[in-house]
Amino acid sequence: MSFFCSQCGECCTTLGLVHVIVKQIKEDEFLLQNEYTGEKKRVLVDPDKQDLFLDKSIFETYPDSCPFFRFRETEKKGYCTCHLTRPAICQDYDCWRILILDPAGIRVGRIMGWRHLCAEREDVSTIWKEHAHRLGSLSDEKWDISVVNLFQKHGYRIVR
């Protein structure tokens, strides 16, 4: 199953509570610590993102953002300024496996991780509560197809 990052930045806007810069080694090199595990990782600001890294305006809107997260308002995209050397937790992160959109293209829900719905509207939650119990024993591939069909039948658009 493939994952496509839309660069919305939601995942990074609270990671400042997890990732903390404990030492600046060089102008573009830092020692980062995971506050939960204590793990330390040396990260470098990507060469093509050094100017972007200097822009600290993201912290006015999202004060708990990862210290390396930046947002280009002109593109409406978020960027990891240490993407090439980012921590393993960031490398392994998949925001969603199935994205549920209403007919206008607005996100109304996501299937995350192992068969967990994160609904953003009550109607999506209701559909899930009424039908999800029937999907339990299916293989992952068949389960995904069934979830896609379920929400499409109710008029939603799906991105996988």
For the chain, which residues make up each domain, given as ranges? 10-92, 98-159
Q: How many CB atoms lie within 10 A of CB 83?
A: 15
- The pLDDT > 70 percentage for the chain reads 96
The stretch 7-30 carries a mean pLDDT of 91
Statement: the pTM of the whole predicted model exceeds 0.75 = no
pLDDT at 4: 59
Statement: residue 3 has pLDDT above 70: no
At 130, is the pLDDT very low, low, confident or very high (cuts 50, 70, 90)? Answer: very high
What are the tokens at 110? 């996501």
Query: Distance (Å, rounded) from C-alpha 124 to C-alpha 150?
Result: 11
At 115, is the pLDDT very low, low, confident or very high (cuts 50, 70, 90)? Answer: confident
Statement: residue 160 has pLDDT above 50: yes
Query: Distance (Å, rounded) from C-alpha 154 to C-alpha 147?
Result: 11
Statement: residue 96 has pLDDT above 80: no
Starting at the edge strand found earlier in the chain, the sheet holding 19-26 runs 19-26, 29-34, 40-44
Please compute Rg for the chain using Cα positions. Answer: 19
Integer CA distances (angstroms), 61 to 3, 7, 58, 128, 146, in order: 27, 17, 6, 33, 39
Contact 81, 90 (CB under 8 A): no
Lowest mean pLDDT among 73-77, 117-121, 136-140: 136-140
Strand locations in 5-154 (E): 19-26, 29-34, 40-44, 69-72, 77-80, 98-101, 107-112, 116-119
User: 109-119 as b/e, with b when 16 or more CB fall inside 10 Å?
Assistant: bbbeeebebeb
Q: Give tens-digit pLDDT for 71-80.
A: 998 998 999 9
